[in-house]
Amino acid sequence: MREDLSMPAAPAIDVDGWVCPMPLRDAPNIVMGHGGGGAMSGELIEHLFLPAFGAAADAGMGDSAVFAVDGTRLAFSTDSFVVKPLVFPGGSIGELAVNGTVNDLAMAGARPLVLSTAFILEEGTALSEIAHVAEALGTAASAAGVSLVTGDTKVVDAGHGDGIFINTAGIGVLDEGVDIRPERAAPGDVVMVSGDIGVHGIAVMSCREGLEFGTTVLSDTAPLAGLVSAMLDTGADLHVLRDPTRGGVAATLNEIARAAGIGVSLEETALPVPAAVRDACGLLGLDPVYVANEGKLVAFVAPADADRVLAAMRAHPLGARAAVIGTCVEEHPGMVVARTALGGTRVVDLPAGEQLPRIC
Residue 83: CB minimum distance to its own copies, A:
10
Rule CB under 8 A: say whether 209 interacts with its own copies. no
For 135, the enclosing helix (H) or strand (E) is helix 127-144
Q: How far is the CB of 310 from its own copies (least distance, A)?
A: 30
Q: At its nearest, how many Å lie between its own copies and the CB of residue 22?
A: 7
121 vs 273 by CB, closer to its own copies: 121
CB of residue 323 to its own copies, shortest distance in Å: 29
350 is a site residue for its own copies (CB under 8 A): no
CA 100 to chain centre: 8
User: Can you tell me the distance from the alpha carbon of 107 to that of 144, in angstroms, rounded to the nearest whole number?
Assistant: 14
Q: Which stretch binds its own copies (CB under 8 A): 34-42, 209-217, 227-235, 324-332?
A: 34-42
Q: Which stretch binds its own copies (CB under 8 A): 36-44, 258-266, 297-305, 331-339?
A: 36-44
- The size of the interface with its own copies (CB under 8 A), counted in residues, is 94
Q: What are the residues facing 20 on neighbouring strands? A: 13
Nearest partner of 93 among 294, 327, 339, judged by Cα: 294
What is the residue type of 133?
V
The answer to the question of residue 337 lying near its own copies (CB under 8 A) is no
User: Looking at beta carbons only, is 219 or 265 nearer to its own copies?
Assistant: 219
**In 10 A of CB 9, how many CB atoms?**
7
Sketch the per residue contact string, 96 through 135, with its own copies: x for CB under 8 A, - otherwise.
-----------------xx-xxxxxxxxxxxxx-xx--xx
Q: Which of residues 155-194 bind its own copies (CB under 8 A)?
A: 155-157, 159-162, 165, 167, 169, 171, 173
DSSP string, 225-283: HHHHHHHHTTT--EEEEE---TTHHHHHHHHHHHHHT-EEEEEGGGS---HHHHHHHHH
In the region spanning residues 13 to 32, those forming contacts with its own copies, defined by CB under 8 A, are: 15-16, 18, 20-22, 28-32
Interface residue with its own copies, options 4, 70, 176, 209 (CB under 8 A): 70
Alpha carbons 336 and 287: distance in angstroms, whole number: 15
Residue 199 dihedral angles phi and psi, to the nearest 5°? -70, -45
**Min separation Cβ 24 and its own copies, Å:** 8
Q: Which helix (H) or strand (E) holds 313?
A: helix 306-314
CB of 145 to its own copies, least distance (A): 9
How far apart CA 36 and CA 168 sit, in angstroms, is: 19
Residue 11 found at the interface with its own copies (CB under 8 A): no
Please give the residues from 263 up to 292 whose contact with its own copies meets the rule CB under 8 A: none
Q: What is the DSSP string of 285-303?
A: T--GGGS--SS--EEEE-G
Closer CB to its own copies, 171 or 266, in the complex: 171
Our finding on whether 87 is near its own copies (CB under 8 A) is no
